């Protein structure tokens, strides 16, 4: 039987009245804020960490994928993603990698400071160390959110609210219907490693010594950190079987994730290149969460439609990042690309199986050059002045595997901020907003849609 205490009623001071209040300050939330501010809205952004950037900064995940279609001829993503890329590049804080899924590699410390600068330039009011904690609604209208920070519990009134908390904390409290995929993509504690790993086979090390250090038959990936010498970003391990939207699981994932990160360092210290000095120089300030729950909206993205490049009247994002599923069951990863190529890599990278999903399905003709997602994916059925943007996106498991990357969620954030500002202008309910107006406003604001 559950035990309860009744919290005494109390008056909560309203510390701000604003046009748009955004909870969660990853690039999804920041880009929503900047887009709305550029359309003339007064915007307040709350973030529970000490900095903006979300997983890209606090989780040390420093790769954004290509802005081009698969033929590399047409630019399909621009907007604030490109602005940030240009500004980081100008500072030597970003490099371009050319691989099958070409990407931009940045320095997360530089991104932190740039996001501070960009929010200030666009007159977005930012509150750090401030957590969303409850919502106040009246009928189908969200009236206020309750926040907590060093000043205590306070309220913010706004005309429109955007939930960019990743897990959809406001959506949860609003009782919006939610769903969980059968296999949730596992989290990873990323760290920075000093020391040369050239010639060191991680697969062989784990095979020979993994058990000694409590490391699973698992594999991940690593990359350099732009502008930094002798340091690699390591995302080598996963924590399996946890639901990071549950407090106990999240605590367990944090502790196990960093144990694994340090075990990896201990293993390379013991068995890496002889004479090489290895050290962990930075550990994510929280575990990188790939997935928790998803919330229903008017439109659900389906993996097959993405891979076939289905077109929509009112697109709000374009992408090419493949379906990328980190398996829960056998520690493998499957990639499925628009051009048909499919690759599954099993535990430790020991076995790779290549195939072609288009040939398997007997598809002929030209593959799609990119995929799109329509405005309706942001439209919340139940509330007139609320939307959620981020990894809580309404997508089936395959579509989520593709959409979850930051170049896609950045665009989703831009669309959410744009839609919110348009609703303010027209005084309309987001459910009645014409998606084509959002696409047009995104284009005018620099998106390549």
Ligand X SMILES: Cc1cc2nc3c(=O)[nH]c(=O)nc-3n(C[C@H](O)[C@H](O)[C@H](O)COP(=O)(O)OP(=O)(O)OC[C@H]3O[C@@H](n4cnc5c(N)ncnc54)[C@H](O)[C@@H]3O)c2cc1C
Residues that bind ligand X (CB under 6 A): 23-26, 28, 46-49, 54-56, 59, 61, 63-65, 131-132, 164-166, 169, 187-188, 190, 235, 288-290, 390-391, 404-407, 409
Measured from the CB atom, the residue of 97 and 356 that comes closer to ligand X is 97
Q: DSSP character for 435?
A: H
CB of 222 to ligand X, least distance (A): 11
- Which helix (H) or strand (E) segment holds residue 417: the answer is helix 406-426
- Between residues 46 and 67, which has the closer beta carbon with respect to ligand X? 46
Give the nearer residue to ligand X in terms of CB position, either 154 or 188.
188
Cite the DSSP H helix spans in 188-324: 202-209, 247-271, 303-307
Closest of 431, 400, 371, 374 to residue 295, by C-alpha: 400
C-alpha–C-alpha distance, residues 166 and 188, integer Å: 15
Instruction: Determine contact, residues 231/107, Cβ cutoff 8 Å.
Output: no
Q: Strands 152-163 and 14-23: what pairing?
A: parallel
Kindly state the smallest distance separating residue 81's Cβ from ligand X, in Å: 10
Q: Burial level of 26, CB count in 10 A (0-12/13-18/19+)?
A: buried
Nearer to ligand X, 405 or 424 (CB): 405
CB atoms within 10 A of CB 111: 24
Q: How many whole angstroms separate alpha carbon 108 and alpha carbon 101?
A: 20
Nearer to ligand X, 358 or 404 (CB): 404
The DSSP secondary structure of 311-326, one letter per residue, reads --SSEEEEE-PPEEEE
Minimum CB separation from ligand X for residue 235, in Å? 5
CB of 400 to ligand X, least distance (A): 9
What is the C-alpha separation between 370 and 318, in angstroms, rounded? 7
Closest CA to 392 of 71, 28, 67, 120: 28
- Joined together, the tokens standing for residue 187 give 């989290």
* 134 Cα distance to chain centroid: 23
Torsion, Cα of 337, 340, 344, 350 (10° steps)? -110
**Least spacing, CB of residue 440 vs ligand X, in Å:** 25
**Tokens for 181?**
């995929």
CA angle in degrees (0–180, nearest 5) for 156-162-164:
110
Cβ nearer to ligand X, comparing 23 with 225: 23
Question: Is the CB of 41 or the CB of 56 nearer to ligand X?
Answer: 56
Task: Kindly state the smallest distance separating residue 275's Cβ from ligand X, in Å.
Answer: 31
Q: Which is nearer to ligand X, 137 or 290 (CB)?
A: 290
Rounded to a whole number of angstroms, the minimum distance from the CB of residue 241 to ligand X is 16
Cross-strand bridge partners of residue 367: none
Nearest approach, Cβ of residue 47 and ligand X (Å):
5
Q: Which residue, 390 or 435, is less far from ligand X as judged by CB?
A: 390
Q: How far is the CB of 362 from ligand X (least distance, A)?
A: 32
Nearest to 377 by CA among 291, 320, 328, 313: 313
Our CB check for ligand X shows the closer of 43 and 406 to be 406
Which letter does DSSP use for residue 99 in this model? Answer: S
- Residue 276 Cβ vs ligand X, minimum distance, rounded to whole Å: 25
Contact (Cβ atoms closer than 8 angstroms) between residue 319 and residue 371: yes
């Amino acid at each position: 039987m559950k035990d309860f205490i009744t919290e005494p009623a109390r008056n909560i001071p309203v510390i701000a009245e604003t046009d748009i209040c955004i909870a969660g300050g990853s690039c999804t939330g920041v880009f929503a804020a900047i887009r709305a501010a550029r359309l003339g809205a007064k915007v307040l952004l709350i973030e529970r960490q000490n900095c903006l950037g979300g997983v890209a900064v606090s989780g040390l995940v420093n790769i954004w994928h290509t802005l081009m279609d698969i033929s590399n001829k047409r630019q399909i993503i621009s907007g604030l993603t490109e602005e940030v890329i240009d500004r980081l590049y100008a500072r030597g804080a970003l490099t371009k990698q050319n691989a099958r899924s070409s990407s931009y590699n940045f320095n997360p410390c530089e991104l932190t400071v740039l996001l501070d600068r960009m929010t200030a330039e666009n007159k977005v009011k930012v509150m750090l160390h401030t957590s969303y904690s409850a919502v106040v609604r009246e009928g189908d209208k969200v009236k206020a959110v309750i926040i907590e920070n060093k000043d205590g519990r306070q309220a913010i009134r706004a005309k429109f609210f955007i939930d960019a908390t990743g897990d959809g904390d406001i959506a949860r409290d609003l009782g919006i219907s939610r769903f969980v995929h059968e296999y949730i993509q596992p989290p990873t504690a990323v760290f920075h490693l000093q020391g040369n790993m050239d010639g060191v086979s991680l697969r062989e090390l784990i095979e020979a010594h993994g058990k000694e250090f409590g490391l699973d038959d698992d594999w991940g990936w690593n990359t350099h950190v732009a502008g930094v010498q002798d340091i690699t970003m390591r995302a080598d391990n996963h924590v399996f079987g946890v639901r990071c939207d549950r407090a106990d699981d999240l605590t367990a994932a944090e502790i196990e994730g960093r144990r694994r990160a340090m075990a990896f360092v201990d293993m390379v210290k013991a068995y890496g290149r002889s004479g090489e000095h290895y050290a962990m120089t930075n550990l994510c300030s929280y575990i990188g969460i790939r997935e928790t729950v998803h919330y229903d909206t008017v439109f659900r993205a389906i993996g097959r439609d993405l891979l076939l490049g289905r077109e929509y009247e009112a697109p709000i994002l374009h992408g090419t990042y493949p379906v990328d599923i980190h398996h829960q069951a056998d520690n493998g990863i499957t990639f499925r690309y628009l051009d048909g190529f499919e690759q599954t890599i099993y535990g430790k990278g020991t076995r790779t199986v290549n195939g072609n999903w288009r040939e398997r399905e007997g598809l002929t003709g030209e593959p799609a050059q990119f995929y799109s997602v329509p405005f309706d994916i942001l439209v919340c059925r139940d509330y007139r002045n609320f939307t959620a943007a981020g990894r809580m996106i309404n997508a089936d498991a395959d579509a989520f595997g593709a959409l979850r990357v930051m170049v896609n969620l950045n665009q989703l954030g831009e669309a959410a901020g744009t839609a919110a500002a348009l609703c303010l202008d027209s005084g309309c309910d987001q459910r009645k907003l014409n998606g084509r107006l959002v696409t047009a406003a995104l284009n005018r604001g620099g998106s390549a849609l």
